[in-house]
Amino acid sequence: MLTGTMLNLEAGFDTRDSPAQARTARGEFESDLIRALAVKPHAISPKYFYDAQGSRLFDSICELPEYYPTRTELSILSTHAGEIARQMGPRAEIVEFGAGSLRKVRLLLDAMQEPARYLPIDISGEHLVDAAAALKVDYPSLDVRPVVADYTQRLLLPAPGAGCRVGFFPGSTIGNFTPEEALHFLRNAAQVLRGGALLLGADLIKDPAVLHAAYNDAQGVTAAFNLNLLARANRELHADFELGRFAHSAFYNAPLQRIEMHLVSRRRQQVAVGGERFELAEGESIHTENSHKFTIDSLRALAQRAGFTAGPVWTDPNQLFSVHWLHAPR
Ligand SMILES: C[S@@+](CC[C@H](N)C(=O)[O-])C[C@H]1O[C@@H](n2cnc3c(N)ncnc32)[C@H](O)[C@@H]1O
């Protein structure tokens, strides 16, 4: 598990994850992968997609014609940035969960009145530090403090400043949690944001054909992203996955209102991880990700159960995606 390591860009940004942190993260990846292969049905957290290569592949997914969520959320944020900034008020600070390449926050920073501080949190440390350094070049007076951490764990953040503390959780990453995990995450976020607010992007239930295309792109980038979990295990854990022996599978599970991503064994095979061997049957899958879809009401009800009070919600003309302003409890 990564502890929250904060890097102060004011003091220079050559600090990477410490070797001790990297060892801990590798150990956690290895034990979770071994557990996933030992227990049926096989399933592992999607957080393991995201090493530097996984983050780059995710950026490529965001550019795909089939992948509507990124461009739709960007258009919503761009259209309503002024209104969102008014909700924040002057000298607000942003805590971004799963910040990735820090692209969306720029729309908020450009509209905000004297943004006080920006704390992007991400588990993909190298990618985060590089993205934060690039942001700092474009916003030299902004206090940028990247936090390399797992946001499902206890977060060590500095005390809020004088303005509103606003959580930012875009990309419908909330949908990667099970409903119970989402509630747990939101309850923790409510503590971190106490008295402030959460700006949350959530993908909406829609035509399954549109969803299917978004996770099965013609260029195979999503397949490469999915397979990166095994490639990463080979790189970091000296596992022996042969990538050609696994197929990317993504489909809409309508009763559970989620896209499921799996890696399906194309044949009967053995794989080795951490000195242990596992057998996979032909057609047996490793479940790598869920992307739950919401209605505006179901998302608001979930947030309310975690203690938030629903504020304004913004959508696009085709109602593909939603961005919610949620007041955190005091
Ligand atoms: C779906 S991407 C979204 C990226 C960006 N926020 C966007 O909207 O385009 C999820 C991001 O969350 C990060 N992430 C996933 N699980 C995480 C965890 N448990 N703790 C911290 N970051 C995590 C990934 O590294 C990745 O950058």
Mean pLDDT of 113-141: 97
Give the pLDDT confidence score for residue 64 in this predicted structure.
Answer: 98
* Mean pLDDT in residue range 277-297: 98
The pLDDT of residue 10: 46
Nearest alpha carbon, ligand 1 atom 5: 100
Q: Which residues contact 247 (CB under 8 A, 6 or more apart)?
A: 263, 264, 266
**Residue keyed to tokens 């998302």:** 299
Contact 299, 211 (CB under 8 A): no
User: H or E segment at 283?
Assistant: none
Tell me the pLDDT tens digit for each residue of 175-185.
999 999 999 99
Q: How confident is the model at residue 257 (pLDDT cuts 50, 70, 90)?
A: very high
At 153-166, the pLDDT tens digits run 999 899 999 999 99
The predicted structure's pLDDT at residue 195: 96
Torsions phi, psi for 313 (to 5 deg): -130, 140
CB 150 less than 6 A from any atom of ligand 1: yes
Give the residue, out of 173, 176, 288, 292, with the most ligand 1 atoms within 8 A of its beta carbon, to mutate for a pocket test. Answer: 173
Which residue matches tokens 């009967």? 268
**Cβ–ligand 1 contact at 173 (below 6 Å):** yes
What pLDDT is attached to residue 16? Answer: 42
Q: What is residue 12's predicted lDDT score, i.e. its pLDDT? A: 35
Q: What is the pLDDT of residue 21?
A: 78
Q: Which atom of ligand 1 is nearest to the CA of 124?
A: 25
Q: Check if 324 has its Cβ closer than 6 Å to any atom of ligand 1.
A: no
CA–CA dist 298, 257 (Å, integer): 11
Residue of higher predicted confidence among 25 and 199: 199
User: Is the CB of residue 323 less than 8 Å from the CB of residue 81?
Assistant: no
The minimum-distance atom of ligand 1 relative to the CA of 151 is 20
Distance 16 CA to ligand 1 centre (A): 18
pLDDT at 237: 96
Phi-psi category of 111—alpha, beta or left, where left has phi over 0 and alpha has psi -120 to 50? alpha
Q: Is the pTM of this model over 0.85?
A: yes
| Residue 124 in contact with ligand 1 by CB distance below 6 A | yes
Quick one: pLDDT band at residue 150, thresholds 50, 70, 90?
Answer: very high
